[in-house]
Structure 1
């Protein structure tokens, strides 16, 4: 039995075309929305929370030993949050660029993205919980954010590992 011979042009087209679903549609639309929302939220967090705390008056109020609001962890936590938010903003921009360029590294970047969000959110909460004033002001929002981040990890990490669309889309 003879196998059909394909023309060279047909072979190239067939070899380059992924089998099954591909493209930035399907569940990846939610990923796009989430990435853009994260970018906006990080910009807002930096401009509305981090930068105002770093101004001299607020910084002095929280970190000066003679202040009524002083706690030794305020300084390190504020710096940790500022550095993390700035680095995560840059990482988010990199992930968005890799996403739209359909880079093969994107699934790994997304696993890192979700894992780091959960880990840093948990560490930040545990550090803040050591400061009595911050503990009193906690309204449950931090716990909700950690739970939300955990759910996102439970859904999206397996998706980026097993999805046929992801495997067929991010190949460059």
Structure 2
């Protein structure tokens, strides 16, 4: 029995379950949805703010909707969305390459997503108009992120499939 295990290790065949199946299918779907949603967010919301009168209305001291945090918050959200889009693509490349760094990347992905969601929410609450327009969707997003972290971070730490699949 001992030689059989050693042979499997020498052949670089993982013991137990491995591969991009099982619960990892949900991770793949989530990554693709994240990329799609970030692209939509960027092109429908973030980038148009910088090229329309909206920027002037929100960031001009002369405007009744002005608040000093509007500019930094909008820039912060846009930069975050662009960086997270590229990070998501980088994760997918490592995912299909079955790279050993993938579990750490996913833990960073979920943790940073939660942290940025909380930071963004707290910043937006400082702006009276944004606070008035908040319909609870940001708070629901944070709760979803907490639940996501509570499920997927332990999965990427403890899963036999993850451990056996991401070995390169």
**Into which bin does the TM-score normalised by the smaller protein fall?**
over 0.9
Following superposition, the deviation at residue 57 of structure 1 comes to 1.6
1:81 aligns with 2:77: yes
1:108 aligns with 2:133: no
CA RMSD of aligned residues (A): 1.9
In structure 1, the partner of 2:24 is 28
Which is higher, the Rg of structure 1 or of structure 2?
1
1:66 aligns with 2:62: yes
Which is worse superposed, 55-64 or 44-53? Answer: 55-64
In the TM superposition, structure 1's runs of 4+ consecutive aligned residues that sit over 3 Å from their partners are 3-6, 10-15
Following superposition, the deviation at residue 5 of structure 1 comes to 7.8
For residues 117 and 124 of structure 2, the distance between their equivalents in structure 1, rounded to whole angstroms, comes to 11
In structure 2, the partner of 1:45 is 41
Would the aligned equivalents of 2:8 and 2:15 in 1 still touch at CA under 8 Å? no
After TM superposition, the score normalised by the length of structure 1 is: 0.92
Aligned pair count reads: 167
After TM superposition, the score normalised by the length of structure 2 is: 0.94
Following superposition, the deviation at residue 13 of structure 1 comes to 7.7
For residues 128 and 107 of structure 1, the distance between their equivalents in structure 2, rounded to whole angstroms, comes to 31
